[in-house]
């Protein structure tokens, strides 16, 4: 089989995010220019990698890119914008305009990380296993509207799904989108290792693959990025029926501006680390948003923007940290303030929420020709929103518009615990009253704890509540600390 030439840049290879890795950012934040001082003076060539936040153009890493005359490739095949979805982790080349907020895409490539049958689901760790790959689900994960509920609870062993995202330092895929897939589809991407040319086997992400049945197989080398799009399962091995090797295209290191959302997968020092497979360095001029240089660490999530040096390292002009969502609300929009397609404010559950270009926005009502935009939102629309707080400002990382207003709907709420009434087994989450009872499950990490343990240490801790929401009242079926609490054993 002849070696396939991927219609992509070097960084298109299974790039090692979260999820979201989208995330809210201050509405005053702008895209850094090539000198780190803001927008470029004139349109410049760009290469971008990250999850799609929205449409009406393709919105990625906070920039709206027009798609007229754009070449789009989906899973190796020519496609259109209709083949892309919110949360799809894409790579894009094009130009960035002088305003730093808009641009034009010349090429977009979308390649799923893995497509296959779910083997295991762990609702406590929020992980699923597919073709030997561990997939991490988070509030930053966009779910296909055909999955019900749109959470890990809607995933079951045996379902055929498509996973988009990028990997952390240990190879866990941080899912930015999970979609249902056809029963006979399959895909696995990653770096080739442990090549055995005699046995005609190799490994991809710890999965053994046999290529003995391939006629005219390409010459293979450890470390190459490959895509398996057609294979059979042979016991614990995959038997490749087609194999694509990605050919590195150096064009990505020659653009004037590069921006990528992902996870730090290697960290030696603040001037020597990697975001996915991209080596990165910083200087005294590097700007930091939502934090500072102390955030540089293994598995930290960020959007890093800058330009490539002569030795093909990305010199970071701007690093924006992507914080885990601190709150989540669901309910009707009660007020709207200054809302345009670029952003504005909405009120949900008596809380004002700020939307901007980094807010992932999706809707069950969206069609291929009519995608949801902020300007489409109206008072009374039922939405589910999550994000982080910046002082008294609630910044939305994700927003989903519900098709129907249900009198009782299952939700995953998130926020700090206040107004605890341990005797009555209730507390407040922002402006929502949460009640629990003897059937409510409480977790600290993966460990089940008692209601007494929870209420003793929960004050001001951020928790995730699964339950039924009716207005501003929620009855919890499960409550989990956002991160394991060191205090939960205190007093035992």
Q: How far, in Å, CA of 22 to CA of 399, rounded?
A: 12
Distances (CA, A) of 338 to 26, 146, 254: 16, 32, 40
Residue 36 has pLDDT above 90, yes or no: no
pLDDT at 182: 84
> Across the chain, what does the average pLDDT equal?
84
Inter-residue contact 282 to 319 (CB < 8 Å): yes
Q: Which of 188, 180, 251 is nearest to 225 (CA)?
A: 188
Tell me the per-residue pLDDT of 426-455, one tens digit each, with 9 for 90 and over.
Answer: 999 887 899 999 999 999 988 899 999 999
Q: Does 127 or 375 have the greater pLDDT score?
A: 127
| Mean pLDDT computed over 321-330 | 84
Query: Among 59-63, 467-471, 474-478, 487-491, whose mean pLDDT is lowest?
Result: 487-491
Burial class (CB in 10 A: 0-12, 13-18, 19+), 223: exposed
Q: How far, in Å, CA of 203 to CA of 373, rounded?
A: 43
406 band by pLDDT with thresholds 50, 70 and 90: very low
Residue 15 has pLDDT above 60, yes or no: no
| Mean pLDDT computed over 17-31 | 36
User: Residue 368 corresponds to which tokens in the numbers above?
Assistant: 């291929």
| Mean pLDDT computed over 139-150 | 87
pLDDT at 489: 41
Residue 24 has pLDDT above 50, yes or no: no
Helices (H) and strands (E) in the chain, counts: 1, 37
41 band by pLDDT with thresholds 50, 70 and 90: low
Question: What are the backbone angles phi and psi of residue 152, rounded to the nearest 5°?
Answer: -60, -25
Query: Among 141-150, 222-231, 244-253, 352-361, whose mean pLDDT is lowest?
Result: 244-253
Q: What is the pTM of this model?
A: 0.78
Strand ranges in 168-224 using DSSP code E only, listed in sequence order: 173-180, 187-196, 201-204, 207-210
Query: Among 147-151, 187-191, 469-473, whose mean pLDDT is lowest?
Result: 469-473
Q: Which of 189, 179, 127, 165 is nearest to 262 (CA)?
A: 165
Residue 371 has pLDDT above 90, yes or no: no
Left if phi > 0, otherwise alpha if psi is -120 to 50, otherwise beta: which for 158? Answer: left
Left if phi > 0, otherwise alpha if psi is -120 to 50, otherwise beta: which for 479? Answer: beta
pLDDT at 437: 93
Tell me the per-residue pLDDT of 269-300, one tens digit each, with 9 for 90 and over.
Answer: 999 999 998 999 999 999 999 889 999 999 99
pLDDT at 27: 36
408 band by pLDDT with thresholds 50, 70 and 90: very low
Secondary structure (3-state) at 434: strand
418 band by pLDDT with thresholds 50, 70 and 90: very high
Q: How far, in Å, CA of 51 to CA of 364, rounded?
A: 19
Q: Does 19 or 111 have the greater pLDDT score?
A: 111
Question: What are the backbone angles phi and psi of residue 466, rounded to the nearest 5°?
Answer: -105, 130
Q: Does 230 or 250 have the greater pLDDT score?
A: 230
Q: Which of 10-19, 252-261, 434-443 has the highest mean pLDDT?
A: 434-443
pLDDT more than 90, % of the chain: 53
Residue 352 has pLDDT above 90, yes or no: yes
User: What Rg value do the Cα atoms of the chain yield, rounded?
Assistant: 23
pLDDT at 28: 37
Q: Does 288 or 206 have the greater pLDDT score?
A: 288
Residue 487 has pLDDT above 70, yes or no: no
| Mean pLDDT computed over 4-27 | 33
pLDDT at 140: 82
Domains annotated for the chain, with CATH where assigned, are 1-184+247-323 (no CATH), 187-245 (2.40.50), 327-401 (2.40.50.140), 409-481 (2.40.50.320)
Query: Among 156-170, 349-363, 390-404, whose mean pLDDT is lowest?
Result: 390-404
200 band by pLDDT with thresholds 50, 70 and 90: very high
248 band by pLDDT with thresholds 50, 70 and 90: low
Q: How far, in Å, CA of 475 to CA of 340, rounded?
A: 35
Residue 491 has pLDDT above 60, yes or no: no
Q: Does 418 or 412 have the greater pLDDT score?
A: 418
Residue 19 has pLDDT above 60, yes or no: no
């Amino acid at each position: 089989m002849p070696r396939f030439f991927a219609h992509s840049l070097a960084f298109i290879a299974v790039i090692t995010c979260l999820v979201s890795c989208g995330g809210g950012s201050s509405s005053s934040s702008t895209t850094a220019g090539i000198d780190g001082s803001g927008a470029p003076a004139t349109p410049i060539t760009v290469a971008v990698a990250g999850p799609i936040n929205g449409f009406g153009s393709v919105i990625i890493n906070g920039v709206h890119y027009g798609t007229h005359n754009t070449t789009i490739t989906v899973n190796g095949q020519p496609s259109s914008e209709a083949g892309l979805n919110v949360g799809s982790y894409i790579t894009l080349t094009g130009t960035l305009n002088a305003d730093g907020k808009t641009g034009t895409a010349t090429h977009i490539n979308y390649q799923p990380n893995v497509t296959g049958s779910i083997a295991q689901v762990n609702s406590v760790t929020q992980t699923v296993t597919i073709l030997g790959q561990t997939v991490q689900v988070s509030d930053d994960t966009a779910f296909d509207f055909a999955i019900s509920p749109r959470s890990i609870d809607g995933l079951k062993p045996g379902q055929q799904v498509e996973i988009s995202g990028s990997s952390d330092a240990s190879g866990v895929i941080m899912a930015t989108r999970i979609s249902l897939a056809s029963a006979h589809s399959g895909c696995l991407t990653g770096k080739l290792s442990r090549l055995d040319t005699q046995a005609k086997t190799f490994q991809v992400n710890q999965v053994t693959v046999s290529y003995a049945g391939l006629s005219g197989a390409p010459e293979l080398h450890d470390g190459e990025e490959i895509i398996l799009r057609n294979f059979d399962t042979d016991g614990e091995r995959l038997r490749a029926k087609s194999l694509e090797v990605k050919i590195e295209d150096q064009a990505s290191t020659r653009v004037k501006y590069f921006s990528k959302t992902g996870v730090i997968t290697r960290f030696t020092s603040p001037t020597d680390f990697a975001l996915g497979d991209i080596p990165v360095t910083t200087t005294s001029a590097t700007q930091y948003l939502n934090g500072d240089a102390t955030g540089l660490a293994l598995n930290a999530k960020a959007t890093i923007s800058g330009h490539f040096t002569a030795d093909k390292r990305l010199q970071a002009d701007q690093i924006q940290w992507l914080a885990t969502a601190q709150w989540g609300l669901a309910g009707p929009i009660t007020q709207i303030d200054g809302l345009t397609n670029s952003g504005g404010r909405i009120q949900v559950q008596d809380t004002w929420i700020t939307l901007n270009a980094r807010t992932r926005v999706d809707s069950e009502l969206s069609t291929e020709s009519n995608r949801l935009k902020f300007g489409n939102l109206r008072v009374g629309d039922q939405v589910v929103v999550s994000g982080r707080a910046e002082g008294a400002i609630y910044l939305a990382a994700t927003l989903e518009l519900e098709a129907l207003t249900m009198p009782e709907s299952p939700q995953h709420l998130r926020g700090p615990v206040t107004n605890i009434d341990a005797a009555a087994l209730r507390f407040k989450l922002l402006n929502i009253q949460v009640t629990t009872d003897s059937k409510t499950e409480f977790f600290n990490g993966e460990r089940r704890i008692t209601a007494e343990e929870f209420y003793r240490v929960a004050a001001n801790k951020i928790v995730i509540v699964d339950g039924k929401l009716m207005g501003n009242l929620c009855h919890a079926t499960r409550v989990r600390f956002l991160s394991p609490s060191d205090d939960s054993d205190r007093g035992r």
